Structure 1
Amino acid sequence: MVIRGRAPLRVSFGGGGTDVEPFCVEQGGAIIGSTINKYAYCSIIPRDDDQITVHSLDFDMTVKYNAKENYVCDGRLDLVTAALRAMDIKQGCEVYLQCDAPAGSGLGTSSTVMVSLLTAMARWKGITLDNYAMADLAYGVERIDLGISGGYQDQYAATFGGFNFIEFHGRNNVVVNPLRIRRDIINELQYNLLLCYTGNIHVSANIIKDQVSNYKKPDAFQAMCEVKALSYAMKDELLKGNLHNFGRLLDYGWESKKRMSSKITNPQIDMLYDEAKKAGALGGKLLGAGGGGFLLVYCPYNVKHQVAHRLEAAGGQLMDWNFELRGAQSWICDEDRWDYRDIQVQMPNKEYTFHV
């Protein structure tokens, strides 16, 4: 038996950073975004002994534990260690982790890995958690237990999936508003967007700490308020299908977000963004906390090819993607069905055997 968990990565359109305390507690935060068809996976194979072996396929790393001993974080796959402890895993197993995007990509990878882990573990133990409870558990393990700096949006986006407008007022006071967007609007939005990998790997915790330290500075605080207001405007324009306005609001949001911390952008990112604008893009933003990862660019369909060419010529790497409307999922598969066996097919005049 293999238990699998899968959670989708996300793109944030507006409001990024307002989901981080203390701003969201004192002022209220708001995020608009969607999940995409790139995922974090967790596979669990139960064992009959106390040995737990975790394989990170992305980092080519293996860590071993004993289910009867205390789980101690030692800097090696601490996300897994904390999840095992939170779910009170007392049985041996093999765990395999894999993510479709690298760490530091700005797509919420670490939180999405956590959600996939907890989703698979809950399925294994027969525990039923609704989306709010799962997202809050993932937040608690990552932000509280491990002390990793960050906001709330990634855990909720990965758990709920789809297009959401999420309002934050601190822990246990998060409201997820699913957006009912017409399918033709979603299709057109995806057609007019590009995802470009900048090649920079960033440490989001350092940028978030700098942002928090700037919270009381007037210009940074005003920028956060503007970013929040823009998320409401983006929601309205997206629901109405005014996509070019939505694209221009992305540009306003990016200009405001850069004022929240000097670490959010760098010369290479600015150069890629400027090249996209020169080729006809209406707006865009760097995903995640900043400093690197994926650049999201909105461009009218008739100049999209020109923007793509300009970005690639400047060193960007375009990724093929689409929106994903489902959130975290889990399922069980039977390993015995993977065994190779002769396949026989009886036809009216003859029996065929296929040796696989």
Structure 2
Amino acid sequence: MIIRAKAPLRVSFAGGGTDIPPYPQEHGGAVLCSTINKYAYANIIPGGREIEVHSLDYDMTIKYTNSDTALYDGKLDLVKAALRVMEVSDSYATVYLHSDAPPGSGLGSSSSMVVALIGAIKHWLQRPMTSYDIAALAYRVERIELAIAGGMQDQYAAAFGGFNFIEFQGDTVVVNPLRVRSDTINELEYNLLLCYTGGIRLSAHIIDDQVQNYRTGHVDSLEGLHQLKMIAYEMKKALLLGRLDDFGALLHEGWQNKKRLSNRISNSHIDGIYEEALRYGALGGKLLGAGGGGYLLLYCPYNKKHRVAAAIERMGGQITPWNFENRGLQTWESDRGVMSGTIHSMAV
């Protein structure tokens, strides 16, 4: 029997950065985000005499006999940390992992992978855990166990799924699912473009720079964070009222404030693509994730979207098809594909 799990990736519309400590501890943070139909997958085949982990994306395999003996050496450390935090020390299995987007793409793929893995382990060991428990544990794996710089929104977005307004006050996280009208969701999806700009970025370096600017009292950085939080509330209101042109304009306003946090967030290539998109009719947009590269999200009136897409492709950008996903983490069991200890079918 194979235990499978998948957790959706996310697009962050507003407030990203206000979920990164110490800002939420001192001022409170808020983000608006939604999950999309791109996923991180974890597959567990229980049994054997060791833990054997295969990353299908990196064509990498690690093996060890006990989670206590797995050293963090840069090779699939997220998996080792998840197994250690979940206290998988006397159970063995073969684990297969893969994702629809690489780390550094800006879609929260690393956090989604940890959420998927924790979900699969929970299913395997029959652990009673809520979506809040899973998200909090995923945060612990990334930010505490492995000390990877970053915020708190990605883990909760992947665990809960759908459109969420997530508030952070100190160490307390409140996920507010939004009841967005279906015609508003369809119209928003129709008017958004997801563009891959290239340049997988090292988000930890950008985040370290952002946090350093905040800690040293950089006035522009602090004011940028305050504005990003305010824009998240305004964008939530625009979304719930179906005022999508306002939503697009707020994306632009948020992107201008995001760039105030660190001079590493954008570069001349990204700025050039964005300016060209605006010239051809986009109302606004933003880089997803910490910045520096990866995916650019753009809001375009439907009758100008094709012109914006063509302009971006001429500049080397790649338009990516996608849809919104309302479901969060999912786990299930399958008896397909088990033969000689390998998976022959990854169908879901």
Structure 2 residue runs of 5 or longer lacking an equivalent are 341-348
- Supply the distance in 2 between the matched residues of 1:301 and 1:17 (Cα, whole angstroms): 30
User: Which residue in 2 is equivalent to 1:197?
Assistant: 196
Give the Å deviation of 1:328: 0.4
Count of aligned positions: 337
String of CA shifts for 1:61-87, please: whole Å, max 9, x gaps.
111111375332111100000011111
- Supply the distance in 2 between the matched residues of 1:9 and 1:181 (Cα, whole angstroms): 19
Seq. identity, %: 58
User: Which residue in 1 is equivalent to 2:5?
Assistant: 5
- Supply the distance in 2 between the matched residues of 1:68 and 1:23 (Cα, whole angstroms): 34
User: Which residue in 2 is equivalent to 1:58?
Assistant: 57
> What amino acid sits opposite 1:75 in the alignment?
G
**Structure 2 SS opposite 1:335:** coil
CA contact (8 A) 1:18 1:29 kept: yes
Stretch moving more, 53-62 or 327-336: 327-336
Root-mean-square deviation over aligned CA pairs:
1.3
Give the Å deviation of 1:336: 7.4
User: Which residue in 1 is equivalent to 2:246?
Assistant: 245
- Supply the distance in 2 between the matched residues of 1:25 and 1:184 (Cα, whole angstroms): 37
String of CA shifts for 1:286-334, please: whole Å, max 9, x gaps.
0000001000000000000000000001100010000000000100111
Instruction: Identify if the C-alpha distance between structure 1 residues 133 and 69 changes in structure 2 by more than 3 Å, giving closer, same or farther.
Output: closer
String of CA shifts for 1:198-229, please: whole Å, max 9, x gaps.
01110111101100011121111001100110
Structure 1 residue runs of 5 or longer lacking an equivalent are 340-356
Give the Å deviation of 1:273: 0.4
- Supply the distance in 1 between the matched residues of 2:36 and 2:255 (Cα, whole angstroms): 21
Instruction: Identify if the C-alpha distance between structure 1 residues 337 and 258 changes in structure 2 by more than 3 Å, giving closer, same or farther.
Output: closer
Q: Give matches, 1:165-204, under 5 Å.
A: 165-171=165-171, 173-204=172-203
- Supply the distance in 2 between the matched residues of 1:59 and 1:263 (Cα, whole angstroms): 27
Instruction: Give yes or no for the alignment of 1:218 onto 2:214.
Output: no
User: Which residue in 2 is equivalent to 1:353?
Assistant: none
Q: Give matches, 1:21-36, under 5 Å.
A: 21-36=21-36
Give the Å deviation of 1:141: 1.1
> What amino acid sits opposite 1:137 in the alignment?
L
CA contact (8 A) 2:67 2:83 kept: no
Instruction: Give yes or no for the alignment of 1:81 onto 2:80.
Output: yes
User: Which residue in 1 is equivalent to 2:345?
Assistant: none
CA contact (8 A) 1:50 1:67 kept: no
Structure 1 segments (4+ residues) deviating >3 Å: 335-339
CA contact (8 A) 2:99 2:109 kept: yes
Give the Å deviation of 1:102: 1.3
CA contact (8 A) 1:5 1:329 kept: yes
- Supply the distance in 1 between the matched residues of 2:184 and 2:337 (Cα, whole angstroms): 44
User: Which residue in 1 is equivalent to 2:346?
Assistant: none
Instruction: Identify if the C-alpha distance between structure 1 residues 336 and 179 changes in structure 2 by more than 3 Å, giving closer, same or farther.
Output: closer
User: Which residue in 2 is equivalent to 1:128?
Assistant: 128
- Supply the distance in 1 between the matched residues of 2:55 and 2:225 (Cα, whole angstroms): 36
User: Which residue in 2 is equivalent to 1:286?
Assistant: 287
**Structure 1 SS opposite 2:69:** coil
- Supply the distance in 1 between the matched residues of 2:30 and 2:67 (Cα, whole angstroms): 42
**TM value normalised by structure 2:** 0.95
Stretch moving more, 1-10 or 64-73: 64-73
- Supply the distance in 1 between the matched residues of 2:108 and 2:36 (Cα, whole angstroms): 11
- Supply the distance in 2 between the matched residues of 1:206 and 1:301 (Cα, whole angstroms): 36
Q: Give matches, 1:1-356, under 5 Å.
A: 1-47=1-47, 49-67=48-66, 70-89=69-88, 90-171=90-171, 173-215=172-214, 216-335=217-336
**TM value normalised by structure 1:** 0.93
- Supply the distance in 2 between the matched residues of 1:336 and 1:231 (Cα, whole angstroms): 44
- Supply the distance in 2 between the matched residues of 1:65 and 1:170 (Cα, whole angstroms): 37
CA contact (8 A) 1:71 1:84 kept: no
**Structure 2 SS opposite 1:97:** strand
CA contact (8 A) 2:280 2:308 kept: yes
> What amino acid sits opposite 1:119 in the alignment?
G
CA contact (8 A) 1:162 1:326 kept: yes
> What amino acid sits opposite 2:64 in the alignment?
Y
> What amino acid sits opposite 2:156 in the alignment?
Y
> What amino acid sits opposite 1:148 in the alignment?
I
> What amino acid sits opposite 1:42 in the alignment?
A
String of CA shifts for 1:112-142, please: whole Å, max 9, x gaps.
1000000000000001211111100110111
User: Which residue in 2 is equivalent to 1:344?
Assistant: none
**Structure 2 SS opposite 1:275:** helix
- Supply the distance in 2 between the matched residues of 1:165 and 1:292 (Cα, whole angstroms): 25
Give the Å deviation of 1:335: 3.2
> What amino acid sits opposite 1:77 in the alignment?
L
Give the Å deviation of 1:50: 2.1
- Supply the distance in 1 between the matched residues of 2:339 and 2:139 (Cα, whole angstroms): 36
**Structure 2 SS opposite 1:4:** strand
Give the Å deviation of 1:103: 1.3
